[in-house]
Homo-oligomer: A and B are copies of this chain.
């Protein structure tokens, strides 16, 4: 098919060539729901749904193991529309396959305030939307996370019984834009490395991007690229539904490699004027061309949002057949549970993220130490305890586990070394808890989101705080989806020393705190570290947690005998023994050590200071005003200390308060020199306090 030139003629002839008029009707229903949705909204992306409709129809009605009546069925196949701008495709499919919440009214309220049909699919807005997508490449990497999660679940629960609790596939539709983004290369490389045979990706290969011909900027050999990353690649005509069927079936047979189906399609398929052009990409066809497309595809001009009765019944018939898989799974699972009561209990514990009563105090306790060590080391102690009490928690690092100290010691490593990649991955490869994401922070972030979205696991991923910048879009999406992904960042300030300014965070702390729905902890000691982790693994509806840790040692913070660690969950609290004074130090993380030492130094001079530890300003923001006032005291009599940009503190203090921060980039030097030159010693802080008070 020539996708560059010509008009309705080719489109019509393509249609005439199809063998099944009913299918054609179904596919065109999807197309026109998308077209009419975009027309009514007067904005949106009609071209992609028009081009993807054939393959999406085949996938959703012949393959996708889902049950619209039980959208959260644990073993459903996952479908991610990485090309989120084609959202009307997903909404149309959810509607036609009978997801109750995706009503006709919703389709007609596309992109309107309060609808479930946002411009890009928003996780949580309606069942069946498995991930928020739109920022390109994210869904691609979410799928890799889901694939990992499914493999990990299978390794734990797929016993020798004939029935396997985990049988699902991860399907993703992606676009040129997804492939151009670097995150997809990272994720593809990881998926190929791990041999994720449960991934089946359909690439909508339409040669067009927003600015015009794709080949304005992209000419790579996509087949070769994915083969280089150990994917199984097929090339098909994406409008040939039988070819799509065959390709998916073939992909299902390749169980040791992820599958990429390159489906050549025509963007804006059916539009006499705009098909195959970027004009079809990012704006409505317009009434005239929408009408012309209806003529070209033999569709009635009226009514808009038309769904023929026979289409409704065909979808119902097909979905009913697919939903049988769910019923069979229910039956099989009941038998499996009876035969494997212990495993069944573990399965439920995993999916419910079950934690023992008082687990947070156990973790606070696990963080205790009898000598000053770095909070990353304290975190390591806590993680070992989590390994004991919460088997559903898994984690990994972006090739920095030896520095971030996040490995579960007895967790087992999900690793495939040397020439293993030429053999199918062993089934028990995924029994481990420690993942190796490689030097791919962005894909790690999105994969963490995918693992979290999949369901039964709570997962953390770690790197240095500075590299949070490399994965910020994924952090933001976790926050937007309000899912509890856990991001762990060590080496959290200029105090990492010699690696220098490229590796030293300065603006990252307050910058991350600006992301809505997110909880950042920067613990000062082991008890705070334990409670930070407890928040992260126990939190069910609060969005992601970020835990920020030091490379360097911190003191043991004074807590009285009656200290209740739950105070830490108020975000900021007055330290025992430092409740009274002329003014208040407020500090986070390693700077609490500095505040306490300075307070001690000043105490010898008869100057008394209150000291507030603020492990989480995000949580503190959510406290009642009374509590905030009680903790902060007089906002003019505050000395705020944090080794990062100072400006965020003005939210908490008056302009005549003293803020000790770092408003320049760092420097390469040993810790002691950095402390001295940046004025982060008790002596230097005391001197500034004397001048200020």
Contacts and interface: CB of A to CB of B under 8 A. Distances in A.
Nearest to A193: B219
Interface string A5-29: 0000000000000000000000000
A593 interface: no
A176 B665 contact: no
A213 B136 CA distance: 31
Nearest to A132: B502
B669 A470 contact: no
A425 to B, nearest CB: 11
A421 interface: yes
A502 B125 CA distance: 13
Contacts of A218: 189, 193, 438
Contact of A417 (B113, B215, B668): B215
Contacts of A193: 217-220
Contacts of A669: 111-114
A122 interface: yes
A108 to B, nearest CB: 14
Interface stretch (A236-244, A260-268, A506-514): A506-514
B229 A119 contact: no
How many monomers of this protein are in the complex?
A: 2
A272 interface: no
Nearest to A663: B516
A540 interface: no
Interface in A177-230: 177, 180-186, 189-190, 192-193, 209-211, 213, 215-225, 227-230
Contact of A183 (B112, B134, B182, B467): B182
A216 B480 contact: no
A256 B668 CA distance: 40
Contacts of A120: 499-500, 502-503, 668
A664 interface: yes
A623 to B, nearest CB: 16
Interface in A379-432: 397, 399-403, 415-418, 420-421
Contacts of A500: 111, 118-120, 122, 134
Contacts of A654: 654-655
A284 to B, nearest CB: 11
Given A44-B498, A217-B193, A180 B440 contact: yes
Contacts of A472: 469-470, 472
Contact of A219 (B177, B403, B421): B421
Contacts of A211: 397, 399-402, 436
A439 B215 contact: no
13 contacts: A113-B668, A119-B498, A119-B668, A132-B502, A136-B439, A176-B439, A189-B220, A215-B418, A219-B230, A469-B473, A469-B476, A514-B648, A650-B651
Interface of A: 41-44, 84, 111-115, 118-120, 122, 132-136, 176-177, 180-186, 189-190, 192-193, 209-211, 213, 215-225, 227-230, 282, 397, 399-403, 415-418, 420-421, 436-443, 466-467, 469-470, 472-473, 476-477, 479-480, 497-503, 506-507, 510-511, 514-517, 635, 645, 647-648, 650-651, 654-655, 663-665, 667-670, 673-674, 677
